[in-house]
Chain A
């Protein structure tokens, strides 16, 4: 057993503390030092946000000459990851990807306070699609069919109170339909069931659904943003189809511990924007279902506030209980 006297322990603690302070003082001047940057993501590896984060991190690491390590800390609606970064040192070495919108009833208040915006990577639509086994060629006939025989229709989402779930309920309200919601755990199984027609409809991002639309296994009805998704230019928007101002998007952005040196935040934002704007990365992000954006910290912060109040408004209007 290793024995340490109280005095030795105390000395150690002071030394570590001093090092930490030292780090922070130097941070603004010489960031990044020989210290790896930890980039957290609150989702399991494998999804779109994870792929985008990894691709950007890889390029960021090359451009600032410092290793950037991705850590997937999945759980509790991303709050495990965001909470961890909200409590990290504001030294510029902890980033977190936000895959929004994030809707939950128990936001840990420190999270919003503890994080500040760096850059909005991209935003993109969700698609209402369905099995090709049903004889409804377009949205209009789908709405009619759902009104004629409500019990025959249901839609799959990746979970309760996720953006697709809320989009579906909003659609129900505005179209006057009563299509049942079926919650899945993430995308995989729900796509399988929608292709096979076990669940006739699905609302999902274009990243996972486009290959099946291209292969003729899923029929797209409409996209949820005001602009069409540029890789599926033939799919109309809800707005065009008689749902004025239907404009809901999913997005990915980067946040950092609030109170981080302004110069570091600006530098990171600049680097990330530059990476997002490269043709290769633009293509990559587009393929994941988002339109690449790249923004200043202020733009992302303003977007985040507006987006949050928009979704909370809808959630309140629909009376959906958040988890």
Chain B
């Protein structure tokens, strides 16, 4: 405990210098603005800004880069809520109810609760890291390929729950999503799968391309066909800050989301990606009237946003304690450390305590900055919705194209969002929901790769999934969840039979 206290004191003495506060602010601001542009993610931004940090000392450089990361996480939610365009898997769930809230004139409330929920989650997660970071590393080590596979199975059950309409259609969409995730080189054998001989498909399809296409472009197409819908978004602006009753409704979700996100974020195999989905599923199951979900339920924004931010925060644990990056942004942080002559690894904590604790303290500072930057910005964002749609949509299209192009500098990616936009529009017309498909896409690759790894290690024995306690527990949990999810619709079906 004394260690923790002296650590935090050291950390805040690093994070609270004028220069580092300024850099945290700058990072968060840049991150927010970048995150708002659909497609331009934190990876591209951090890579671009990396040379600027060469002249800074390592702690300052990392504080600024981390700020960009949090900022982009939050900025992505803004776009998801305002124009239904999730640029990353993490903001996909926010788009579901967040954009519905915006259509009902509650965009300000959605943005507000997202900002406040994120701040709360970030604060809790920061202290979680400070207190439990080192022991939690053990939890990360518990998860091997078999465990990740089983965790992803749990994730797929979430996809069924995400669906608003027919379960059958949701399952179909999940399968399509998984199939899409298998495009590219087979990891174990190096065979090309569904690449049509094109070099551009060797590495599979970018999430951003599908997300922006299926959600964003399809949304534009739908808005253009109906004059009324787009005008409802425009006319009703409503309040900017959540009311007391809305707070009351949302705060339990924030707490639950924070907890879920904190735990999942620790897993170095990108477990954080599941956090918002898990939270949404939980909220929908706990709600008295789950039919509100998908039609602008505030819990559907508050929970996943908190989970997302908590996960983003705790995903620093494997990086800080082991030097193992769980995702592309963290890999960049490793690169930044390397360039500054710090060897990332388990020794950072003891050899560079100022860096370790400075980062932790700056997380909290960064979260505060986000709140300071974003609460005043809400008004500006919401006013953007007043812009007539005939001016708005070409701008959205243009920014999407620029953003997508900036990821890999590939013009074919831009063509792909058009293609997926048309697919997304067709799906909308046929009442197929894209969210389960995107979740299938996100989980598919992780699931397949870990399944095959686990089987190579066990030499083909499927028992490995039941022999390992964590894996077995997760599979049982998945089964229970599935039964809970499917039961109501079966019962409903039976009721119908009886009434007839």
Find chain B residues with CB under 8 A from A160 CB: 185-190
Shortest Cβ distance from residue B69 to the other chain A in the assembled complex, whole angstroms? 13
A196 contacts chain B at the CB level, 8 A cutoff: yes
Among residues 290 to 318 in chain B, which have CB atoms less than 8 Å away from a CB atom of chain A?
318
8 closest A-B pairs by CB: A211-B345, A323-B190, A198-B144, A46-B331, A46-B335, A196-B141, A160-B190, A51-B338
B187 touches A321 (CB 8 A): no
Query: How far, in whole Å, are A180 and B323 apart by their CA atoms in the complex?
Result: 26
Partner pick for B335 among A47, A80, A184, CB 8 A cutoff = A47
Closest to B202 in A: A76
Known: A198-B144, A215-B347. A183 touches B459 (CB 8 A): no
A-side contacts of B346, CB under 8 Å: 211-212, 215, 217
Q: Using a CB–CB distance below 8 Å, which chain A residues touch chain B?
A: 44-48, 50-51, 54-55, 58, 70-77, 79-80, 105-106, 108, 151, 154, 159-161, 180-186, 188-189, 191-193, 195-196, 198-199, 210-212, 214-215, 217, 284, 287-288, 321-323
A-B pairs with beta carbons under 8 A, tally: 147
Interface residues of B in 269-286 (CB under 8 A from A): 269
Interface size on B, residues (CB 8 A): 54
- Bound form: Cα–Cα A72–B459 in Å: 38
In the bound complex, residues from chain A placing their C-beta under 8 Å from that of B140 are 192
Q: Taking the nearest CB of chain A, how far is it from the CB of B470, in angstroms? A: 11
Give the complex CA separation of A195 and B47 in angstroms. Answer: 29
B194 at interface, CB cutoff 8 A: no
Residue among A76, A198, A287 with the highest chain B CB neighbour number at 10 A:
A198
**B322 in the interface (beta carbon within 8 A):** yes
- The reply to whether B50 and A54 contact each other, CB–CB distance below 8 Å, is yes
A192 touches B453 (CB 8 A): no
CB-CB under 8 A from A72, the residues of chain B are: 47
Partner of A70, one of B51, B326, B343, B345: B51
Residue of B47, B323, B326, B341 near A211 (CB, 8 A) is B323
Residue pair B326, A188 in contact (C-beta under 8 Å): yes
Selected contact of B457 from candidates A46, A161, A182, A322, CB within 8 Å: A182
CA distance in complex: A192, B326 (Å)? 10
Contact B335 A45 (CB under 8 A): yes
- Of listed B188, B268, B331, B341, residue having the most chain A CB within 10 A: B331
CB-nearest residue of chain A to B55: A58
Contact A192 B457 (CB under 8 A): no
Are A188 and B325 also in contact (CB < 8 A) when A182-B456, A198-B457, A215-B346 are? yes
Expressed in whole angstroms, the Cα–Cα distance for A93 and B32 within the complex equals 33
- The docked-state distance in angstroms from the alpha carbon of A212 to that of B346 is 7
Which A residues are in CB contact (< 8 Å) with B221? none
| Contact (Cβ within 8 A) A193 B145 | yes
Whole-angstrom distance between the alpha carbons of A212 and B347 in the complex? 9
With contact pairs A51-B339, A211-B344, A214-B347 given, residues A180 and B47 touching in the complex (Cβ less than 8 Å): no
Q: List A contacts of B408 (CB < 8 A).
A: 73-75, 80
Q: Does B152 contact A (CB under 8 A)?
A: no
User: Contact check: which of A71, A77, A186, A188 meets B409 at CB < 8 Å?
Assistant: A71
* Measured CA separation A130–B499 after assembly (Å): 65
User: Do A192 and B324 have beta carbons less than 8 Å apart?
Assistant: yes
Can you name 19 A-B pairs with beta carbons within 8 Å? A45-B47, A47-B335, A72-B47, A74-B408, A154-B456, A160-B187, A160-B189, A160-B190, A185-B187, A185-B449, A188-B326, A193-B144, A196-B141, A196-B142, A198-B145, A211-B345, A212-B322, A212-B346, A215-B345
A46 B334 Cβ-Cβ under 8 A: yes
B324 close to A58 (CB less than 8 A) = no
From A75, A161, A198, A321, give the contact of B203 (CB < 8 A).
A75
A180 touches B456 (CB 8 A): yes
Contact bitstring B111-123, A, C-beta under 8 A = 1, else 0: 0000000000000
Expressed in whole angstroms, the minimum distance between the Cβ of A75 and any Cβ of chain B is 5
Residues in B whose Cβ lies below 8 Å from that of A154: 456-457
Once the chains are docked, how many angstroms separate the CA of A183 from the CA of B188? 6
Given A192-B140, A192-B318, A322-B190: A211 in contact with B347 (beta carbons within 8 A): yes
Known interface pairs A44-B331, A79-B199, A160-B189. Does A180 touch B459 (Cβ–Cβ under 8 Å)? yes
Are B409 and A182 neighbours in the complex by a CB distance under 8 Å? no
Residues of chain B within 8 A of A189, CB atoms compared: 268-269, 324
**Contacting pair A159 B457 (CB below 8 A):** no
Chain A proximity of B62: nearest CB distance (Å): 13
Nearest-CB residue, chain A, relative to B333? A46
Find chain A residues with CB under 8 A from B186 CB. 160, 323
Q: Which of B141, B331, B339 contacts A192 (CB 8 A)?
A: B141
Could you tell me the distance in whole angstroms from the C-beta of B17 to the nearest C-beta in chain A?
25
Q: What separation, in Å, do the CA atoms of A154 and B339 have in the docked complex?
A: 33
